[in-house]
C-alpha cells in the first residue's frame, strides 16, 4: 500500500488498486462535538484514512490494524463511504468549485487533517432535486442584491487553500447509524483560520440556508504523521 504522507497530487490508478493510507494523530484540543453525539469518534486518539478503488485492497490492512489495537486494549470505529460523480451540480458549478481547487500534497506541506461527518434531515431528502440544488447558489432580491450567499459562496474562500474530499454513504441516504456524507480536509497550519471561517460561514443558516437541514457529527482534528509509531507519540 502507498503511504499518502509522502505523495504529491492525487494517487495514481495503480496506487489506488493497491490501496493508500494516511496516519493522523489526534489534535484533541481542536476537536469539537456538534449535533450528533459520537464519543468513539470525538475521543479517538488517532485515525487511519484508507483509500482504494476496491475495498479488497485494504481489508488485510484493516484486519492487521484491528488486531494491533485490540492487543493494546483499544477499539476501532469505522467510517466508510464511496466517491460518486458530482451529478447534483451543473458544469458551471463544477468549474467554480474545482477548477482552482488545491491539489493534495505530502504531510509536510499540509500537516493538518479534519474529518466532518454529517447527515441531512428527512425534510431535505423529501425535496425534489431542483430545490435541493438551489441551496448551493446565492439568493437575490428583485433588485439583484444577494440576500443569502448559499453553499458555494460560503465555501469559496477555502477553494485555493484547503484540500477537499467528500465521500457518500455506500447505500441509500437517510439510514440509521450511517452518515450520509463524510468530509475530509487537509491544509497548512497557517490556513487553519480559513478552514474555521469557512465552516462558520457554512453553519450560518441566514447566509447558507442549506445548513438548517444538516446534522453534524463531531469535527475531528488530527495531525498527519508518517508512520504508526508516531500515533502514540
pLDDT tens-digit series, residues 12-24: 999 999 999 999 9
Residue 111 exposure: Cα atoms within 13 Å on the Cβ side:
8
- Range 28-44+81-232 has CATH code 3.30.70.3420: yes
pTM of the model: 0.93
Asked whether the beta carbons of 82 and 54 are under 8 A apart, the reply is no
194: phi then psi, degrees, rounded to nearest 5: -65, -45
Helix (H, G, I), strand (E, B) or coil at 168: strand
Cα angle value 14/1/56 (rounded, 5°): 80
Residue ranges per structural domain of the chain: 28-44+81-232
**137 vs 85, 93, 199, CA distance in Å?**
19, 9, 17
Q: Which residues of 91-105 are buried (b: 16+ CB within 10 A; e: fewer)?
A: eebeebbeeeebebb
pLDDT tens-digit series, residues 51-93: 999 888 888 888 888 898 888 888 899 999 998 876 556 788 8
- Residue 136 C-alpha from the chain's centroid: 17
pLDDT tens-digit series, residues 188-206: 999 999 999 999 999 999 9
Amino acid at each position: 500500500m502507498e503511504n499518502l504522507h509522502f505523495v504529491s497530487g492525487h494517487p495514481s490508478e495503480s496506487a489506488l488498486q493497491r490501496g493508500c493510507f494516511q496516519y493522523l494523530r489526534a489534535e484533541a484540543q481542536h476537536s469539537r462535538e456538534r449535533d450528533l453525539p459520537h464519543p468513539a469518534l470525538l475521543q479517538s486518539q488517532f485515525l487511519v484514512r484508507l483509500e482504494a478503488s476496491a475495498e479488497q485492497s485494504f481489508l488485510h490492512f484493516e484486519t492487521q490494524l484491528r488486531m494491533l489495537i485490540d492487543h493494546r486494549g483499544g477499539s476501532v470505529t469505522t467510517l466508510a463511504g464511496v466517491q460518486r460523480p458530482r451529478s447534483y451540480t451543473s458544469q458551471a458549478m463544477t468549474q467554480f468549485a474545482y477548477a482552482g481547487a488545491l491539489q493534495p500534497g505530502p504531510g509536510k506541506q499540509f500537516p493538518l487533517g479534519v474529518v466532518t461527518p454529517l447527515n441531512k434531515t428527512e425534510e431535505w431528502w423529501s425535496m425534489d432535486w431542483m430545490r435541493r440544488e438551489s441551496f448551493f447558489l446565492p439568493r437575490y432580491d428583485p433588485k439583484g442584491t444577494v440576500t443569502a450567499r448559499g453553499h458555494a459562496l460560503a465555501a469559496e474562500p477555502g477553494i485555493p487553500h484547503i484540500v477537499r474530499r467528500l465521500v457518500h454513504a455506500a447505500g441509500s441516504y437517510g439510514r440509521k447509524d450511517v452518515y450520509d456524507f463524510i468530509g475530509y480536509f487537509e491544509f497548512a497550519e497557517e490556513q487553519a483560520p480559513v478552514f474555521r471561517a469557512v465552516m462558520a460561514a457554512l453553519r450560518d443558516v441566514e447566509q447558507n440556508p442549506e445548513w438548517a437541514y444538516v446534522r453534524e457529527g463531531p469535527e475531528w482534528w488530527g495531525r498527519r504523521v508518517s508512520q504508526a509509531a508516531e500515533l502514540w507519540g
